[in-house]
Amino acid sequence: MSDSIILEVQHITRDFGKFRALNGVSLKIPKGRLCALIGPNGAGKTTFYNVVSGRYRPSSGKIFFDGRDVSGLPPHRRVALGMLRSFQITNIFPALTVIENVMAPLIVHQGLSFSFWGSLKKHKALAAEAEQILERVGLAGHSGSMVSTLAYGDKRLIEIAIVLARKPKLVLLDEPTAGMNPEETDRMINLIKELSQQSDTTFFITEHDMKVVFSVSETIFVLNQGSLLAEGAPEIIKSDPKVRQVYLGGNLHAAGG
């Protein structure tokens, strides 16, 4: 495996009884490249993310993360190595403030012990680091706000801040704009672009919104019926007749994924 590859999936299959959800999928994600996984409903995208993140074991095949075979590792071991997944399950604590939500993973990441309800404010250096992360995601003015009072789009931004606090090497963003209004979607698009360009973290997204996919992605992988149908730059994917065919008989832009 090349040193420039952060994630390599080799011939992954995943069976559920007699049903094969993934059928020999292979792909490589270069370090620093912003990539996306798309496909029509039932293509196997969620199963693929579950296998890569460790929720499911592959029925066959190998997964290499930053040069290490992680095929049999559980999710928490992959997180410790720097692979994080966001948005599939809510990660935030609505009864805490915004900055407390970001400080908690900072404390865990540094292996510090604390009484969760009593000592967050004692870590002044980590509080300053949390403020910097909140500034990066556009929430600097909300650090003292209770999470439960924030708009939906801001809660999604907190989830990204929490992920960034763990200093990830690879972030799997699962439907990052789901449920957002157009303004919130544009904000998320710009944030993902900025984070990819200004950090060493690699981002790999799944997304139904084709506007998002073609706005942010450098490389797009297309799944269909559990197999990798195509991969390439956005302009290549847009013009690929096989891809257009699986998306509502040729209208890629109208597809919901």
**Residue 27 counted as domain residue:** no
Structure confidence by residue, pLDDT tens digits, 81-105:
999 998 644 568 888 899 989 988 8
In a domain, 49, yes or no: no
Q: Specify if 159 maps to a domain.
A: yes
What per-residue confidence (pLDDT) applies to 11? 98
Q: Has residue 256 got a pLDDT over 90?
A: no
How do residues 207-237 score in pLDDT, each as one tens digit? Answer: 888 889 999 999 999 999 999 999 999 999 9
Any domain includes 98: yes
Model pTM score: 0.87
Whether residue 99 lies inside any domain: the answer is: yes
pLDDT at 222: 96
123 to 95, 109, 120: CA distances (angstroms): 20, 13, 6
Tell me, yes or no, whether 94 lies in a domain.
yes
> What does pLDDT average to over the chain?
88
Whether 219 is in a domain gets the answer no
Count of structural domains, the chain: 1
The Cα–Cα gap between 34 and 6 comes to 12
254 confidence band (pLDDT: 50, 70, 90): very low
How is residue 39 written in tokens?
């496909």
Q: What is the pLDDT of residue 124?
A: 81
User: Does the structure show a pLDDT above 80 at 22?
Assistant: yes
Which of 8-12, 15-19, 57-61, 242-246 has the weakest average pLDDT?
A: 242-246
Residue 83: CB partners within 8 Å, gap ≥ 6?
7, 52, 53, 65, 70, 168, 169, 170, 172
Could you tell me if 150 and 90 are in contact, meaning their C-beta atoms sit under 8 angstroms apart? Answer: no
First-last CA distance in the chain? 31
Greatest mean pLDDT range, 70-74, 114-118, 172-176: 70-74
Evaluate if residue 257 carries a pLDDT over 50: no
Q: Which residues have a Cβ under 8 Å from the Cβ of 60 and sit 6 or more positions away?
A: 11, 12, 13
Asked if residue 157 is part of any domain, the answer here is: yes
Per the structure, the complete domain to which residue 100 belongs is given by 90-167
